[in-house]
Structure 1
Amino acid sequence: MAPISATREEFDEIPTVVGIFSAFGLVFTVSLFAWICCQRKSSKSNKTPPYKFVHVLKGVDIYPENLNSKKKFGADDKCEAKSKPVMPKNSLHLDLEKRDLNGNFPKTTPKIQSSPDVENLTPKHFAEREKNSISPESIKSNTSLSSEEKQDKLGTLFFSLEYNFEKKAFVVNIKEARGLPAMDEQSMTSDPYIKMTILPEKKHKVKTRVLRKTLDPAFDETFTFYGIPYSQVQDLILHFMILSFDRFSRDDIIGEVLMPLEGVELSEGRMLMNREIIKRNVRKSSGRGELLISLCYQSTTNTLTVVVLKARHLPKADVSGLSDPYVKVNLYHAKKRISKKKTHVKKCTPNAVFNELFVFDIPCEGLEDISIEFLVLDSDRGSRNEIIGRLTLGASAEGTSGEHWKEICEYPRRQIAKWHMLCDG
């Protein structure tokens, strides 16, 4: 019977051993899991953000975050080592280590940089080919400007003009811009790009790519315009619009450059030029023009018929001297807009003929709480449409507008047309 009691004691010790091994295994598993999580977290922090991409043509990072351990597109270690000392001054790379505790970049004054094309030109070439050249004295004067003067400065645009007689094409190369203002107050940078239009016909419209987080963008993009005879180049005007890209709202307009080509001789070859960027100035005259409107109130169906007939003597709302007008019609009930319509765009004319009819359903009996607003706008694809003039008709309107409204109320089912003066937008 003694051996049987010994085997029972051995079986009693087995749960204790199993419990000890299970505890050690649990501690080991938890430690291993925590170590793996830490490794994954550190590896994710070193990876490039998912929205970073590389410009295929230039090999330049457009979103230059976390570049210390990353390679450029299509470059190996040897090429990268060779390209480091030759790296241009106007690089788009930002050092994240220079951020403050809030994650913002410190405010820095824009440095004066130069493109490789400008550096390779000889002083003799500048004297003969460029009217507004940059001298060392002008650079010193720019660096000694006060902070108030720098705020008024919108930067300088550098570009070159050339005419290809073999292909009968006009060539514009947008090189770079220097000293742009910061449109993003948090990072104190901008995301600039340029839209260019050839005036006065506005048939040729191009734009550059967006360069991220820089005040001295180097575009170096060439645009070739075919079908422009050399005899007509003198009559053209180049309009450069400098903008800053905004992901969440309308792009910010930094400024514009107008370059008349009258007196510019391109027969000798390429000309390098630079112009100061100025604030966008929509040229408007004192008069807003007139609008011919026809109204008819149908009391039986409780509808208001509006016919936008003509506009005349519209001011010059564009740098080309002509407008591309259209009319936007808004219907209000108790100062709340309940419906809106708009006409087609009429190209390059101060005297537009629309002849477009709109029918509005009136939500109440009578026109006491109803008013209608006419906005004459200038269509512009490059930026926000500018308001040329405004007209409001309603019971509270004065002058011809009030008289017109009273007539359609007193004589329903009668179409009544009148000219109205437009007021400032």
Structure 2
Amino acid sequence: SRKSSLRAEDTLESIQELGSLELMGRDLGLAHCGPLRKSISADSLNSISSIGNNFGQDFTVGQVEVSMEYDARATALHVTLLQGKDLLEKEDTRFESCFMRISLLPAEQIVGISRIQRSAYSVAFDERFSVPLDPAALEENSLRFSVFGIDEDERSVSTGVAELKLSDLDLATRPFNAWLYLQDTNKAVDTVGEILLSLSYLPTAERLTVVVVKAKNLVWSNAKVTADPFVKVYLLQDGRKISKKKTAVKRGDTNPVFNEAMIFSVPAIVLQELSLRVTVAESGEDGRGDNTGHVL
């Protein structure tokens, strides 16, 4: 059930504000804690009982697990490539091996390049890289994680990428660990708005709270002049939907304010295996609506 505000005990765990995220366009790929793009159909999400293909498989080219921590005394950022899976498409026979490159944006400074991996489908990297970085740069810089396939002529071809804004990660106070979805580099970026979210997790109650704060500058589908937006939040495990909640509908508002908290029961042991998909949708007369955009 939806709640309009957090309960008192939620204040025991600080709320982590993710900041404004850009909406991803309808026909494009996924990003982790990145731009909200135009949305593929949320109906493609597998149900709780289904054993179908993973959500988003046509729009991503694998995943990589990374961890980061900031050493304030040494003024250095430490980045670890932990593991990857399905970094290259199995149907693509051009590549015999692959590697990953980490770059610091906007200067395109190379932080590190991984060892070449002969198998792209289950990779154990366990490689740590460090780059000097002033504390102020945590608010200004991003990291780009790129995967490259190596063909039989030993040419390197970029196949997937994920970007993280360091300002979203609160590295000055705690380390960060997550699986990143790599977006196909052949797909363009097309943003259709921004959304502001907050997350908190209360270990004692095994409760994950997602607060949908507000959205702004929404661009409606099919060139509509106005629409009635609402937000759907999906909890995913291995790409499959295990829970879904949604906000109330806001009438004719391109900058809707929701301020709605959604509570998910999440055992701590599986927390690192889960991801969230947040979709802004347009309410229709028949109860169904077009999806404006999403972030994963």
Answer yes or no: same fold by TM over 0.5.
no
Structure in which a larger fraction of residues adopt strand: 2
TM-score band, normalised by shorter chain: 0.3 to 0.5
More helix by share: 1
- TM-score between both structures, scaled by the size of structure 1: 0.31
TM-score normalised according to structure 2 size: 0.43
